[in-house]
Structure 1
Amino acid sequence: MAPQTWLITGSSSGLGTAIAETVLRAGHKVIATARNPIKAAQENPQIEELGGQWLKLDVTSPDTTKTVKDAICQAGGSIDVVVNNAAYSLIGSIEDMTESEIETQFSTNVFGPVRVLKGVLPFMRAQKSGTVVNISSIAGLDGLPSCAMYAGSKFAVEGMSESLSKELKSFGIRVILVEPGLFRTKFFSTFVEPAAGLNQDYIGTPLGDTLQHFKDLDGKQNGDPIKAAQRILEVVTCTGLGVGTEDMLRLPLGPDCFDRFQTKCDALQENLTMMKKIAYSTSY
């Protein structure tokens, strides 16, 4: 396979760094983005050592689309894969969250990918090829207590990706929706809680208990980010375990993700079956 050019947002840590390093080691070119590329380069010297380049990018900025377009032009005017990975989690009670905190969550997790795609898609349409990789989460399929806004943002990414996969297919552009479960990244040490703290009434409830469970899980997650990155590369390139997956939209990662996904599907089927009579009773 000829070397591809990848643009990966949120490459300064976690799964983003793992994807960038894995893709570079496979012989591809990488534009790795970070809000602070100087710090990211210092903490991850292997990216430049392997031939990657850093790009300063804050996906909440209105200049994101132009920055992405300029970077692609400087890289030769073509882009094969974009990975929308930049995101964070706002965890807690909606009651305790300000509108500003919620807006920032959606500006990063939902509008961020949109801004990036507006910069990438014109190039992919022109070349009649490309792959969009949107990093969602098991939270985009199964919302847990304390995750209403984070899950809401990832549900939005899921719906957006479903539509995009159908809209872009005629241009030869593929969409892959990655749904990681629990992986050993900084996710549980860097999630954001409302500045107001937690309303005391939620202590001892499913919300409070789940929030504490997340804190206790930090550093104990079973998922290996490097293995996740390798599976993503294989599905994008249809090699290794990715052979035969070219028509699949969703890529669940981790046994915990798979099991929660299956439980959600079973619950949806039960709900749908139970409500069939009511659904069919509403026609003229």
Structure 2
Amino acid sequence: MSSPVWFITGASNGFGLLLCLRALRANQRVVGTVRSKAKSADAVRQIESAGGQVIELDLNEPKESITRKVKAVGQIDYLVNNAGFFVMGAVEQVTAEEAQLQMQTNFFGPLYVTQAALEGMRLRRAGAVANLSSIAAKDPQPTSALYAASKAALEAVSESLAAEVAAFDISVLIVEPGAFRTNFLAAYSAPAAPLPDHYEGETAVARAREYFATGGGTQAGDPQKGVDRIYEALTGEGLAGKLKGKVARLVIGPDALRRMRKSNDKFLADLALGEEVALSTDF
């Protein structure tokens, strides 16, 4: 029996690179994607020297191109949609082009990759899809609205997809990390338009912008531990292995857990307050 094949997008750094190397250490086959092999030479070297393969794939490519590249891989047992980026700015200052790029990279790209991989999984009646979201999808913060929206959209598709493909023994896992010490914050994209004057000073937007601009390298989360939990939840091994097939979401990081509980508490409180109104609308 051949080793399972992992297809992991965004393998140039962070979770993507570490997950490629984690799977390779377990003697699994790995295909990682980067936008440019030349610009990601160190990651390519690490993955290939460990026995993996790297292909160039930009999630902003046309759907036909993404589909062709994914299908060319052949068998995919574990699909991990990890690639993404962060447009950091107030809702009012984000341009149409920036909003479209955020959604293309974080939502439409993963959607097209998943569509291309599903046929093979369905025919084999086996497979797992892991979509890297963020706690921001459930607890959006000022200046992260577009990023949070793209991840929330990915989560909604994931939940619907899970119900659609369960009959084919394909599992879907949403991964919701908190703040991990990767280059994520250092690589954020600032809007081209300036921040309107009224947001300067002691506002939620100004405080969030300062945090995101200076918080890189101070995050409490250990990326290797985060990747280990993802690997375990998908394969059924280790500490998180007991969660395989039992949870729709893998929340990783104490900060993510706190924010998720806070978000859930607010939702339940709103539901309780509005119960009489909700029940008042039938014929």
Q: Matches of residues 237-248 of structure 1 in structure 2 within 5 Å?
A: 237-245=235-243, 246-248=245-247
Cα separation, 1, equivalents of 2:173 and 2:205: 31
Cα separation, 1, equivalents of 2:16 and 2:241: 23
Asked whether the 8 Å contact 2:24–2:50 carries over to 1, the reply is yes
Asked whether the 8 Å contact 2:134–2:178 carries over to 1, the reply is yes
Q: Matches of residues 17-32 of structure 1 in structure 2 within 5 Å?
A: 17-32=17-32
State whether structure 2 residue 213 is matched by structure 1 residue 215. Answer: yes
Cα separation, 1, equivalents of 2:124 and 2:240: 24
Query: How many residues are matched?
Result: 279
2:72 is aligned with what amino acid?
Answer: D
State whether structure 2 residue 144 is matched by structure 1 residue 142. Answer: no
1:157 is aligned with what amino acid?
Answer: L
Cα separation, 1, equivalents of 2:264 and 2:145: 20
Q: Percent identity?
A: 39
Give the drift of 1:243: 3.1
Q: Could you tell me the TM-score, scaled by structure 1's length?
A: 0.95
Q: Matches of residues 1-284 of structure 1 in structure 2 within 5 Å?
A: 3-62=3-62, 63-72=65-74, 78-203=75-200, 204-245=202-243, 246-284=245-283
**CA offsets 1:102-132 (integer angstroms, 9 cap, x no match):** 0010000000111101210010001000000
Structure 1, unaligned runs of 5 or more: 73-77
Asked whether the 8 Å contact 2:9–2:83 carries over to 1, the reply is yes
Cα separation, 2, equivalents of 1:21 and 1:40: 15
Query: Which region of structure 1 is more displaced relative to structure 2, 44-53 or 245-254?
Result: 44-53
Q: Could you tell me the TM-score, scaled by structure 2's length?
A: 0.96
1:277 is aligned with what amino acid?
Answer: E
Cα separation, 2, equivalents of 1:187 and 1:244: 29
2:138 is aligned with what amino acid?
Answer: L
Asked whether the 8 Å contact 2:176–2:250 carries over to 1, the reply is yes
Asked whether the 8 Å contact 1:134–1:161 carries over to 2, the reply is yes
Cα separation, 1, equivalents of 2:241 and 2:81: 23
**CA offsets 1:21-65 (integer angstroms, 9 cap, x no match):** 111111111100000023323345221111011101011111111
SS of the equivalent of 1:38 reads coil
Please give the root-mean-square deviation of Cα atoms over the aligned residues, in Å.
1.2
- Pick closer, same or farther for the CA change 1:202–1:269 going to 2, 3 Å: same
**CA offsets 1:168-200 (integer angstroms, 9 cap, x no match):** 100110001000100001111111111113222
1:108 is aligned with what amino acid?
Answer: T
Cα separation, 1, equivalents of 2:124 and 2:115: 15
Cα separation, 2, equivalents of 1:243 and 1:71: 27
Structure 2, unaligned runs of 5 or more: none
SS of the equivalent of 2:239 reads helix
Cα separation, 2, equivalents of 1:128 and 1:265: 34
Structure 1 moving runs of 4+ over 4 Å: none
Q: 1:75 corresponds to which residue? A: none
2:220 is aligned with what amino acid?
Answer: N
